[in-house]
Amino acid sequence: MDDAFFEGFQAELNEPNMWTRYHGEKGLVPPPVPQIDGKWLFWEMMRVSRQYNPSIVNAIEKLRQTGKYKIGALTNNYVFPEDHPYRDDGSTKALFDIYIASVEVGMRKPEHRIFEYAIRAMGVENPSQIVFLDDLGGNLRAAKEMGLRTIKVPLHDTQNAVRQLEDILGEDLSLLPSSKL
């Protein structure tokens, strides 16, 4: 990440047309464009995104234990320098059978071609065999357009997403062990 990257990110954040479009999609009147510190926001997003969500990790581990599912990750990511504390130590990749990193394949969500790549990598006959979870509506729309089933994962309500996944797959993915009563 160099100064040019952060300048571009900052420019996008403060772009009036993007701000107006974002609020318009939500049926809101856009307030004046705020002054956002893009560099601070980027690093804050990276800090928060590195925290594992227990209910999601638990669901991944339980699904892997069944041996019935191929678990994949499709991530828009960045490569940090070797000595950077956010450098991936491989523990995230170890959770998945298939790990597709945008920086490695030269594509990003919500581009259709990255979903085509993921469908091939997962080796499914029909894209509807894939359940795609994401927190961003644009990524979910693109996945749905490509034929994947989708679940929105709000950052502060992952339990609802896990329940939806349980309903689709017919698996118990709860954090707590089932009661014998």
Average pLDDT, rounded, for the chain: 90
Distance in angstroms (rounded) separating the CA atoms of residues 131 and 129? 7
Query: What pLDDT digit, counting tens, does each position of 53-71 carry?
Result: 899 999 999 999 999 999 9
Say whether pLDDT at 166 is over 80. yes
3-state secondary structure string, 59-102? Answer: HHHHHHHHCCCCCEEEECCCCCCCCCCCCCCCCCHHHCCEEEEH
Query: What pLDDT digit, counting tens, does each position of 78-132 carry?
Result: 777 788 777 777 788 999 999 999 999 999 999 999 999 999 999 999 999 999 9
Distance in angstroms (rounded) separating the CA atoms of residues 6 and 39? 6
List the one residue out of 134, 125, 132, 169 whose CA is nearest residue 149: 132
Domain coordinates in residue numbering, the chain: 3-47, 53-169
The DSSP H or E segment spanning 151 is strand 149-152
Q: Give, in words, the CATH class of 53-169.
A: alpha beta
What pLDDT does residue 137 have?
Answer: 92
Distance in angstroms (rounded) separating the CA atoms of residues 166 and 129? 15
